[in-house]
Amino acid sequence: MAIGVQQTSMAIQQATLDASNGSAATLPPPPDATYTPYPTYTPETSSGGAADAPPQASQADINSKIKASNILIYEDAVGDPSLVPVVGSTINSMNFSGGRIINTGDALGKFRDNANSATNWDLMIVAAEVRTSFSGEMFEMMYDHIDNGGAVIIEVWYIDKVINGKIAPILSNCGVTLFRDWRRDNTYDPYNYSIYWLDKNHPLLSTPSIVSPPSYPYPVWFGDAGDLLELSAGGDATLVGGLFPNRNTDYGVLAVCMGGRMVIQTFSSHDYKWDVVQPLWRNYITYTLTNHYEYGQ
């Protein structure tokens, strides 16, 4: 490098000085000075940094996977001729193709058989709005599905009745628990049942559609309006919707957790306007499947 050139030059100068002083010693001829180029700068790549990370799937890749998803549905509103099934209608509007879409309606045995089949389900949906039959081992199957990396959406209004059962491990891993039961009688004040978004920028509320909060109820169900959630120790839950805009840890009716692979809704879909609820369900499905595929990379 440059130091070697400098040392060689100094040696030449010293030899010349000695000769001029009449030194008797005979010095060997100095070596020819050689040019050593400066090193070229190469940016360092830190170990484990972004350059080492595997390439992320593009949104187009994720969308293609979503379209070909295997989805298993329990929706007990199918058995009530007075109700239009929200989940089934939403699924039909999303133009899935290439995967298996099985809607078992309110047939618990059919749901159980399909859940235990060889099909690798990407998303399981439980919309238990009419009855309380979905409980016990059914939630145990849901837990196994989540534990294996699957996505789930759960609509249930009767957590207070099953809180100590098989749903408990799901709620615990999610990071939510029952705050209190939520009642409604015939003299109710509608504004006590308005739902507020706690994080308006959350992707659950904006992708693929920006969804307004269910701000005014049109109740189908009286008596038990649902359940209110609060955050608990453990898990990664976030309350996305609740009864008060400034309460982020309790009075919740909509939560996400498990890295976005799980959505839990504790109000009844048919108690609010269709043009609000159906886009919200489309977002649920898109959000959980997106996170399911990102989790599996």
Q: Give per-residue pLDDT as tens, 164-221.
A: 999 999 999 999 999 999 999 989 999 999 999 999 999 999 999 999 999 999 999 8
Question: Residue 13: what pLDDT?
Answer: 45
pLDDT confidence band for 55 (50 / 70 / 90): low
Question: Residue 19: what pLDDT?
Answer: 43
Higher pLDDT, 89 or 22: 89
Q: Distance between CA atoms of 14 and 24, rounded to whole angstroms?
A: 14
Question: Residue 263: what pLDDT?
Answer: 99
Residue 287, Cβ density class (10 Å: 0-12 exposed, 13-18 middle, ≥19 buried): buried
Neighbour count for residue 131 (Cβ, 10 Å): 14
The residue type found at 116 is N
Q: Distance between CA atoms of 23 and 125, rounded to whole angstroms?
A: 99
CB of 79 closer than 8 Å to CB of 104: no
Task: Tell me the Ramachandran region of residue 226: left when phi exceeds 0, alpha when psi lies from -120 to 50, beta otherwise.
Answer: left
Q: Distance between CA atoms of 84 and 270, rounded to whole angstroms?
A: 9
Question: Residue 1: what pLDDT?
Answer: 44
pLDDT confidence band for 99 (50 / 70 / 90): very high
Tokens of 233: 């120790």
Span 69-295: which CATH code? Answer: 3.40.50.880
CB of 223 closer than 8 Å to CB of 158: no
Compute the average pLDDT of residues 52-68.
80
* Sign of the torsion formed by the C-alpha atoms of 59, 60, 65 and 67: positive
Question: Residue 137: what pLDDT?
Answer: 87
> 């749903």: which residue's tokens?
167
pLDDT confidence band for 18 (50 / 70 / 90): very low
> 């100095």: which residue's tokens?
30
Question: Residue 54: what pLDDT?
Answer: 53
Q: Distance between CA atoms of 160 and 164, rounded to whole angstroms?
A: 9
Compute the average pLDDT of residues 63-90.
95
Segment (H or E) for 127: strand 123-128
Q: Distance between CA atoms of 74 and 72, rounded to whole angstroms?
A: 7
Higher pLDDT, 31 or 163: 163
> Average per-residue pLDDT in the chain?
86
Tokens of 39: 């090193």
Compute the average pLDDT of residues 112-119.
96
pLDDT confidence band for 9 (50 / 70 / 90): very low
pLDDT confidence band for 16 (50 / 70 / 90): very low
Q: Distance between CA atoms of 231 and 275, rounded to whole angstroms?
A: 29
Compute the average pLDDT of residues 215-236.
94
Question: Residue 14: what pLDDT?
Answer: 45
Nearest to 9 by CA among 37, 31, 25: 31
Over 50: is that where the pLDDT of 21 sits? no
Higher pLDDT, 148 or 31: 148
CATH 3.40.50.880, the chain: domain bounds: 69-295
The residue type found at 88 is G
Over 70: is that where the pLDDT of 294 sits? yes
